[in-house]
Structure 1
Amino acid sequence: MKKQINLYLIASFFCFLISGCSGNDNEEPEPGTEWDKTRTARVSFVSDLTGNNPFTAHNYNAVSSAIKGNDSHVVILDRANVTYGTPRINPGANIAVLAERFPIFVPVSTTETEYRGSVLLYEKPVPEMEQTIVADACRMIPITVEIKQGLTVRTALLSFDSENQISVSANLFRSAQTSSTLVTGTIRRNLVPTLESLISTLTDGTYTLEIIENSAKNSEYAIYLFGSMKWKFRDFTEGSVSGNIKHFLLQVEFL
């Protein structure tokens, strides 16, 4: 059955935390500061940005090799969709084994044949991980990142397939701004105006929202970043992994 997805990949649900990040949170960041790479979170997406699962047995080795050499704080296999038919196909788990990582599946939506979502890959086992219910099968997962000793920040993964999922996310974005949580994920490109409109009505303008311009300008999906003004988007690079699958690296500094 659909609801019997491997518990090793789906964590329990969770109410979003509103506590802040460590490290001088009461100080307002100064504009125009020089980039301090020692305070920078590195977030990697592996994706073709089509919304469909690009991972097959033919590219598992190439993808896992790219992940093994990745030093990002957060690594995301975007749309590593899990089929619940027979045989069950779980590309995220297969790649995780080859890459020697520990996977957590984060669902976005469902179809008649699969759970659509992304897989977070961890270097160490995660004893407990909780996810926030957004709408139907859509979930958000918090990710604690230790950028360096003494500086731990909050990030979160939240992707969107529909306008309704965005509409019911108002309180999540409000909480993220309050707690200086960096939220990222993928979104249908035609839904970007909906996201921009929602966020503009929720906050007082002291936020950053970045829609990442990848080389495929007309890709079905785009990567976004949202956070308080304590976060500053610094750099974006992309490289080829296998076929149409790309590695997208985002670097965001916590001021």
Structure 2
Amino acid sequence: MKDLIKLIGILLFTLLLACSSDSGDDGGNGGGGGKDDVWDKSRTAKVLVISDLSAGNLFPNTNYSSVVNTIKATEQNVILLNNTNVSFSATEMLNPAAKVAHQSLYMPYFVPHGKTGNEYLGNTILLGQALNEMQQTVLSADCWMFQAEIPFTSSLKMRFSSGSFSSEDQIAAAVSSIKNNLFVSTLVAGTVKRNIVSKLVTSLSTALTKDSYMLNIVDNVNKSSEYCIYILGSSKWKLRDTNESAISGDIKSFLIQIELLK
């Protein structure tokens, strides 16, 4: 009888252990989502953001070699050069991002977000090949949002969009545009001024249903910059990894990897 009771106890313990193991398995990645949450790198888009996360010009001089070398050494699907302002005068125009694109063999697409007396303020999207079609949506007089379909695997494309925001009125217009273009493959990346991040969060939660989108704010290591990077998309996207590296001076690269879930 004692042996029978001991055997039953062992069987019950084994059963409980098996149930506990099945329900708690997160695939080893810490996601907590079970086996379905294993990172599928074959469905992952890589966005490389190069920025000093300030309001200043990314290229105050003509030395672009360190940025070009970083671009050449980094595997990615799309590059965002933040604040590659174009200066002009009556006799000449200086477009540093065009020179970076030429030296790194990428196609540049300028996305304006402001204007001064002698500068067009904006970002530059770099792509490995020319686009057949793209769209620029006007958010305010001098602030636009870039949109295009970009392949990130042999069979998958993202509806990539980008815009940078320094004022609350730009956010309101951007959220309206995002709401009208929020498809499964929609992925938006850009910079937002730190003191209006809460406005972005609130505007999205008001305009969109809770489970229809994801938003991640990517901060720099010391969390003291004037701007942050935001990653926004449909709820089918999941931020998997962010790697920050120094390039030159205050300029850093942020390699952001986001998986399109099945």
Q: TM-score, normalised by structure 1?
A: 0.83
Letter in 1 for 2:99: N
Q: 1:222 to 1:31 in 2, by over 3 A?
A: farther
Partner of residue 116, structure 2? 111
**Corresponding residue to 2:126 among 97, 105, 121:** 121
Shift of 1:58: 4.8
Check if 1:189 corresponds to 2:173: no
Q: 1:228 to 1:124 in 2, by over 3 A?
A: closer
Check if 1:132 corresponds to 2:110: no
Cα distance in structure 1, aligned partners of 2:128 and 2:154? 17
Please say which of residues 175-184 and 245-254 is displaced more in the overlay. Answer: 175-184
Identity across the alignment (%): 39
Letter in 2 for 1:189: R
Structure ID, larger Rg: 2
Shift of 1:215: 0.9
Moved over 4 A (4+): 29-32
Considering Cα pairs closer than 8 Å and 6+ residues apart, tell me whether 1 or 2 has the greater RCO. Answer: 1
Q: Is the 8 A contact 2:157 2:185 kept in 1?
A: no
Partner of residue 146, structure 1? 151
Letter in 2 for 1:161: S
Q: 1:56 to 1:64 in 2, by over 3 A?
A: farther
Partner of residue 63, structure 1? 67
Note the 1:105-254 alignment, pairs <5 A: 105-206=110-211, 207-254=213-260
Shift of 1:144: 1.9
**Corresponding residue to 2:54 among 28, 38, 50:** 50
Cα distance in structure 1, aligned partners of 2:183 and 2:132? 27
Secondary structure at 1:144's aligned position in 2?
A: strand
Partner of residue 30, structure 2? none
Unaligned runs of 5+ in 2: 1-32
Q: Deviations over 1:63-116 (max 9, x none)?
A: 111111222101111100011224422110111111121211110111122111
Greater fraction helix: 2
Unaligned runs of 5+ in 1: 1-28
Cα distance in structure 2, aligned partners of 1:59 and 1:45? 18
Cα distance in structure 1, aligned partners of 2:218 and 2:36? 21
Cα distance in structure 2, aligned partners of 1:183 and 1:90? 24
Please say which of residues 68-77 and 85-94 is displaced more in the overlay. Answer: 85-94
Secondary structure at 1:191's aligned position in 2?
A: helix
Letter in 2 for 1:248: F
Partner of residue 81, structure 1? 85
Q: Is the 8 A contact 2:62 2:96 kept in 1?
A: no
Cα distance in structure 1, aligned partners of 2:257 and 2:44? 6
Q: Is the 8 A contact 2:133 2:148 kept in 1?
A: no
Cα distance in structure 2, aligned partners of 1:128 and 1:110? 26
Partner of residue 23, structure 1? none
Q: Deviations over 1:176-201 (max 9, x none)?
A: 43454111100100010110110010
Q: TM-score, normalised by structure 2?
A: 0.81
Q: Is the 8 A contact 2:48 2:255 kept in 1?
A: yes
Q: Give the total of aligned pairs.
A: 227
